[in-house]
Amino acid sequence: MAEEVSLLSSPSESSTSLLSEISNASTRAFILAFTVGSCGAFAFGCIIGYSAPTQSSIMKDLNLSIADASSILSILYSLFGSILTVGLILGALICGKLTDLVGRVYTIWITNILFVIGWFAIAFAKAVWLLDLGRLLQGISIGISAYLGPVYITEIAPRKLRGAACSMSQLFTGVGISVVYALGTVVAWRNLAILGSIPSLMILPLLFFIPESPRWLAKVGREKEVEEILSRLRGENSDVSDEAGEILAYTEHVKQQGDDRGFLKLFQRKYAFSLTIGVVLIALPQLGGLSGYSFYTESIFISTGVSSDVGFISTSIVQMLAGILGTVLVDVSGRRSLLLENHCWETGTPILALISVTLYFGSYGLGMGSIPSIIASEIYPVDVKGAAGTMCGLASSISSWLVAYSFSFLFQWSTTGTFLMFTTVTGIGFVFIAKLVPETRGKSLEEIQSLFSF
C-alpha cells in the first residue's frame, strides 16, 4: 500500500514513463489493433447511452396519449431498455465458444456486422417490434464483445502497457456514452441511430489488417505463427523470443493437464478463486445501479426538477475526464487502488440528483468502467478463458437485465429506497475488493494466471 501511495504522489513522472512505453510499443499492427478495440468500445458506449436521451422523443413518435403514459410508458420503456440486456444474456452464452472456435478477429467481424444491422433496424423502424429487434441484435453483439474486447487487447499488449492500453480502449465506452448523451439533446433519435453506426462501419475495413491474438494461435496449435505475430506487434527489431517462449511453454503446460471436460473444467477447485473474483467484479457495477443510471438518466433528472440537457452535458464531461485520469493511473497506482477509490465515491450518490449522477458516472469512468474487465481478461488461463468469458458475461448481463427492468418500478416505489439499495451493494463491493482482490499490475498474463490457479 505504501508503494501505491508513493506512485500516486508523482503523476507527472508516471505519465512521462507511460508515454515512453506507448511510443516504444507503437508498431503499425498494434496501433491498428488498438484503434479497432477503441472504435468497438466507442460503438459499445453509443448503444449503452442511446436510450436515455431519446426516451421522450421515442415515446412521442409512438403516439402515446398523456392518459396512457403513466402505465404504458413505464411498461413499454422498461421493455425497450431491458431487451438490450436480454440480448446481452444471449451473447454471453455464445461468446466464449465463439471466440475460442473462430478466433478473436473473426468474432470482431461478427459483432460489428450485428452492430450495424441493429442501428439500421432502429433508424428505419416503422413498428415497435423492429425497434426492439434492433436493440436485441445490439445486445447480442455487446454480450459477445464486452468480454472479447478486453481479452483481445490484453493478449496483444506488452505487459507494462497492458492496463493502460485496455483502460484507454475501454475509456471510449464512456466517450461513446457521453457523445450520445450530448448529441441526443440536439439530434432526432432516428438520425442519432444512423450516426451510431459510423464507428462499426469504420472498423470493418481495418479488420483485414489487424493480427490475431498470439495466445489464441498457441492454443489452437499454430505455434509457428506466434513469434511472427509478436514481431509485428512489438516491432521487427524487437527480440520476442522470450515472450513467445513463455506463451508457448505455458500453453503446453495447460494442454498436458489433459482435462477434456470443456465448460465444466472452469468449476474445478483450482479455478474457484479466479472465478469468484471475475464474476463478482463484473457484476458489481450492474448491481450497483449502472443500467438504471444509464437507461433512465432523463427520468432521474426530470423527477427532481433538473434540466435533462444540463444533466446530460455535465455527466458527459465528468465521465470523460475521469476516464482519462483512470487510464493514466491504471498502470501507475494499480487496478486495486482505483477500484477502492471508485467505491468510496459511489457511496455518496444518493445525496443530490445532479451531483449524485455526475459523481456516479465520474467514478465509473475512473475505475469501475474498465478495471473489472481488465482483471477478468487477465486472470484466466487460455484453456478456460472462453468458459470464463461466458460466466462473466452471464453475470453481467443477468444483473444488468434485473436492474434495467426493475429500475423504473423501484424508482416509482421509492427513490430513496432505490438508491440506498445500490449504496448497500457498493459498500459490500468495497469490502470484497479490499479483502480479496490482489494487484495484477506489472505481471505477465502467464504469471497472473499462475497466481490465481491453486
Domain of 107, CATH number, reads 1.20.1250.20
Q: What is the pTM of this model?
A: 0.75
Distance between CA atoms of 135 and 81, rounded to whole angstroms? 9
Average per-residue pLDDT for the chain:
77
Inform me whether the pLDDT recorded for 351 exceeds 60: no
Inform me whether the pLDDT recorded for 414 exceeds 90: no
pLDDT confidence of residue 18? 44
Task: Tell me the average pLDDT across 376-397.
Answer: 83
Residue 409 belongs to a domain: yes
DSSP at 224: H
Q: Enumerate the H helices of 103-188 as residue ranges.
A: 104-123, 128-156, 162-183
Q: Which domain holds residue 418?
A: 26-210+259-452
Side-chain-side CA neighbours of 32 within 13 Å: the count stands at: 16
Residue 359 belongs to a domain: yes
pLDDT confidence of residue 140? 93
Instruction: Pick the more confident residue, 82 or 181.
Output: 181
Residue 38 belongs to a domain: yes
Residue 94 belongs to a domain: yes
Residue 20 belongs to a domain: no
- Among candidate residues 296, 264, 298, 276, the one with its CA nearest the CA of residue 386: 264
Question: How many structural domains are present in the chain?
Answer: 1
DSSP at 76: H
Helix (H), strand (E) counts: the chain? 23, 0
- Among candidate residues 453, 254, 446, 443, the one with its CA nearest the CA of residue 335: 443
Question: CB–CB of 147/281 below 8 Å?
Answer: no
Residue 424 belongs to a domain: yes
User: How much of the chain, in percent, has pLDDT values that exceed 90?
Assistant: 15
Inform me whether the pLDDT recorded for 7 exceeds 90: no
- Among candidate residues 18, 34, 64, 259, the one with its CA nearest the CA of residue 149: 34
Inform me whether the pLDDT recorded for 68 exceeds 60: no
Residue 396 belongs to a domain: yes
Residue 161 belongs to a domain: yes
Inform me whether the pLDDT recorded for 162 exceeds 60: yes
Q: If phi over 0 gives left and psi between -120 and 50 gives alpha, with beta otherwise, what is residue 64? A: beta
pLDDT confidence of residue 453? 65
* Burial (CB count <10 Å: 0-12, 13-18, 19+), residue 119: buried
pLDDT confidence of residue 14? 40
